[in-house]
Amino acid sequence: MPQLSKRAILIGLLLIVLIASGVYVVFFHNKSAATSTDKGGAASGKSGKGPSGPATVSVANAEERTVPVVVSAIGNVEPHATVSLKARVDGQIMAVNFKEGDPVRKGAVLFRIDSRPYEATLKQAEATALRDAAARDQARSQERRYLELLEKNFVSKEAYAQIRTNAETAEATALASRAAVENARLNVEYCSVTAPIDGYVGKILLQVGNLVKANDVNALLVVINEVRPIYVSFAVPEQKLGEIRGYMNKGNLQVDAVDSQSLKKLATGALVFIDNAVDANTGTIRLRARFDNKDTVLWPGQFVGARLRLYERAGAIVVPSRALQTGPQGQYVYVVKADMSAEMRKVVVAWTEGDEAVLSEGLAKDEQVVVRGALRVSPGAKVIIAPAAGAGS
């Protein structure tokens, strides 16, 4: 019994300690949670206070002006002419007289092919021509003598006919020899490969020392592109074809080439070609504009924006493109009224060009539209117009 009582006492003390520890842990946890909740609520309440007062915005006036009506497309720059130079005689390339990418003038000697075999052939042909010319002259002289003898009946007609035939044969032989001389001289000239057009040369495809064959399909020497003038080809929807043809019949249509990234105008040209068929696969018609390109700002293979001007529209309303907002009902702008409240106004955009949008409906001249700060504006809310120098987004 004394032992049982001591054990029971120890167990009871242990239980009391465990219960006390549990109560302390639960109390401390609840207090910490309550404290965190109070702090979070206070913080939440503090951050939940939204900005009060009118929104500060930047505005711009809707302008009325005469603007060109344009058809825009992406164009590809094409050379005015492209020539792939090939050798017209067999031989070894002895000299290349240009650097890759150089501008060249028409008639400039670009390659020299070994001409010694052709010069020897020319000399041989010239010698043969001299011999045949002498034989021709002798035959002509003999024919004249026989003609005199025939008139005096000293020779028969058959004998004279034979002499005349010999003279005509000698004449033909001399002509053939002269043609051989011209052909040999032409081959010598072909040993100097010249530029047939003004332009820029590309990569040298056959260097000095290589053997070339006349008109070999796989033996290109170099490619020359003529870039003054130059073309820009572009495609527009077939629905524009009738309108474009109508205005083109009234006079030249201006085409501006613009940088595809910055939209900066690069050059001004004229529409010179409308394709004779619509592309059935894309539903577009191919157009081509010609540019003088005196400063070579356009380069073959380059992609540029092409803006075809059809006519000018007077009294168009123009606003900055950044004033346009898009909602469920379409595009709209915020108009700042006289009482400094914002009105949400639906607009119809005729077209956008660069940083400006041309409107066909929705705004009148000199109305102020919000261009910055529109995200902080709601319909009917008051606004404050920021000074132009300190306008923020």
pLDDT for 356-389, tens place per residue? 899 988 999 999 999 998 888 989 999 999 886 5
- Beta-strand pair 330-336/325-327: antiparallel
Question: 10 Å Cβ neighbour count for 315?
Answer: 9
Query: Residue 32: what pLDDT?
Result: 47
| Mean pLDDT of all residues in 171-183 | 96
- pLDDT digits 0-9 by tens, 63-76: 999 988 889 999 99
Query: Residue 355: what pLDDT?
Result: 84
- What class has domain 85-223? mainly beta
- Beta-strand pair 303-320/356-361: antiparallel
- Asked whether this chain's domains 56-64+315-390 and 85-223 adopt the same fold, the reply is no
Q: Where does residue 295 rank: exposed (0-12), middle (13-18), buried (19+ CB within 10 A)?
A: exposed
| Mean pLDDT of all residues in 323-337 | 92
pLDDT exceeds 90 at position 36: no
pLDDT exceeds 60 at position 22: no
Query: Residue 260: what pLDDT?
Result: 85
- Supply the pTM of this predicted model: 0.68
Quickly list H helices, the chain: 2-47, 116-151, 157-190, 241-250
Query: Residue 351: what pLDDT?
Result: 81
pLDDT exceeds 50 at position 15: yes
- pLDDT digits 0-9 by tens, 123-160: 999 999 999 999 999 999 999 998 888 888 888 889 98
- Closest-CA residue to 177 (of 116, 138, 136): 136
pLDDT exceeds 90 at position 295: yes
Higher per-residue pLDDT: 289 or 52:
289
The span from the CA of 175 to the CA of 57, in Å, is: 93
Question: 10 Å Cβ neighbour count for 25?
Answer: 10
| Mean pLDDT of all residues in 85-89 | 94
pLDDT exceeds 50 at position 38: no
Question: 10 Å Cβ neighbour count for 356?
Answer: 16
Domain-wise residue ranges, the chain: 56-64+315-390, 70-79+227-314, 85-223
Which backbone phi and psi does 301 adopt, to 5 degrees? 90, -10
CATH architecture group of domain 56-64+315-390 = Beta Barrel (2.40)
The span from the CA of 68 to the CA of 216, in Å, is: 52
- Closest-CA residue to 113 (of 127, 99, 96, 100): 96
Q: Are 75 and 304 in contact (CB under 8 A)?
A: yes
Q: 106-110, 215-219, 318-322, 366-370 — which is least confidently predicted?
A: 215-219
Vertex 215, ends 229 and 128: CA angle to 5°?
A: 115
Fold of 70-79+227-314: Elongation Factor Tu (Ef-tu); domain 3 (2.40.30)
pLDDT exceeds 80 at position 88: yes
The span from the CA of 71 to the CA of 311, in Å, is: 10
Residue with tokens 């052909």: 183
